[in-house]
Amino acid sequence: MDKKSNASMICQSLWQHPMESRAALAKRLSIDKATITGEITTLIKRNIVIEMPTSVSAQTGRRPIPLMLNGRSGMVIGLAIQAGSYSVVVVNMNDEVLFSASEKAEINSTNLIQMVHRIFDEITKSPNGPFPQCLGLSIGVGGLVNSIDRSIDFSVPLKYSSKTRIIEPLSKELGIDVLVENNANCCAWLNLLPVNKGPSDFIFLMIEFNQVNVPHKKFGGIGIGLGIVIGGRLYHGAHSYAGEFRSAFCNGEDDFQLSLSRNEMNSIFDDHAVFEHLCDELSRNIALLANSLDVGCIYVGSDCEPQGREFCRTLENAIHAGWPFPVEKRIPISYSAIGAYSVAIGAAREMYMYLFDNEMIPC
């Protein structure tokens, strides 16, 4: 791709660093101030960038005017598909969620394209709108997603057992760009924007406790996935499957991600001893990875807050126990109630980055 236009670089910078002034943009992008001023003037006239009020101050002289993207200039749709349900969000150019909804629905390989088309039509023609122009749609799914060609290589909840590409037919039908991403990687995007001011090396651990209640034809148990970020970039691995988890304590041909039996897995909400076993085993695995990578933070997201927070306490102890050196090191653990909206919002953020990186945002 040729070098990005100044307008595109300005818009991407304001998306990542909202409320920056013309002078701050010029410094960040290494573009002279006169060029920045001219580009901003054009973007304001086109209603893509807006000036924000300056704060009241006793200082004399002209204060820098903060700038933001105009939220009405575009939006993307983030869609999270789980076993038996889906969640969808509409996120504008200012990272504001304009609309969110969840619904029970069985979406799999036989009806995925039709269901996505239906969801898209319901949103774009919704009486809750009118929404801004739709720039893209990103889908978070459980399973193996190839980061290069965006194919779904394997997915239990969607019942894909071989490599399948859905983005071309969907993009053609909807008339917009479409992405597919692993759901744990989508969650990592929640903490990837510079505005979050978090560490550039972290792990997002997604735990779906309620998946034990969802019947699967083959695999089952608690759903566990990791989004790994190194140097501020999502790490996909040599084969695109980084973050797929199976406990080091599994020693049989069972199809769970942990060593617990099916009966034990089904009793985690009723038998606290079994739940403690689960926390201990999972914590030992994650602590080894976190200490080896020396990450700056671990984000834990789960669909059951009491269980998720109890796991965080166990994980903190495991990380401490797994660091035997006389040098102080602390890896903060941050909990967030994940829900499906976190996957959907993260998917939307990745779509924005994709559009900016490929200069597909209308500037």
Q: Measured between alpha carbons, how far is 359 from 196 in angstroms, rounded to an integer?
A: 23
Neighbours of 177 (CB within 10 A): 19
DSSP string, 210-254: GGGGS--SS--S-EEEEEEEETTEE---TTS-TTB---TT--SS-
Topology (CATH level 3) of domain 6-69? Arc Repressor Mutant, subunit A (1.10.10)
- Report pLDDT digits (tens) over 212-251: 776 554 555 788 999 999 999 999 999 999 999 999 999 8
Residue 217 pLDDT: 47
- Tens of pLDDT, residue by residue over 162-214, are 999 999 999 999 999 999 999 999 999 988 876 667 789 999 999 988 777 76
CATH 3.30.420.40 residue ranges in the chain? 74-187+342-357, 195-338
Quickly name the fold that domain 195-338 has: Nucleotidyltransferase; domain 5 (3.30.420)
Q: Could you tell me if residue 30 is left (phi over 0), alpha (psi between -120 and 50 degrees) or otherwise beta?
A: left
Tens digit of each residue's pLDDT (9 = 90 or more) over 10-41: 999 999 999 999 999 999 999 999 999 999 99
Look at domain 74-187+342-357 and name its CATH class.
Answer: alpha beta
Region 280-301 average pLDDT? 97
Residue 1 has what pLDDT? 45
pLDDT band for position 59 (50/70/90)? low
What pLDDT shows up at residue 157? 84
Residue 294, judged by CB atoms within 10 A of its CB (0-12, 13-18, 19+), counts as exposed
Whole-model pTM: value is: 0.90
List, by residue range, all CATH 1.10.10.10 domains of the chain. 6-69
221 or 256: which carries more pLDDT confidence?
256
Rounded (10°) CA dihedral 181, 183, 186, 191: -160
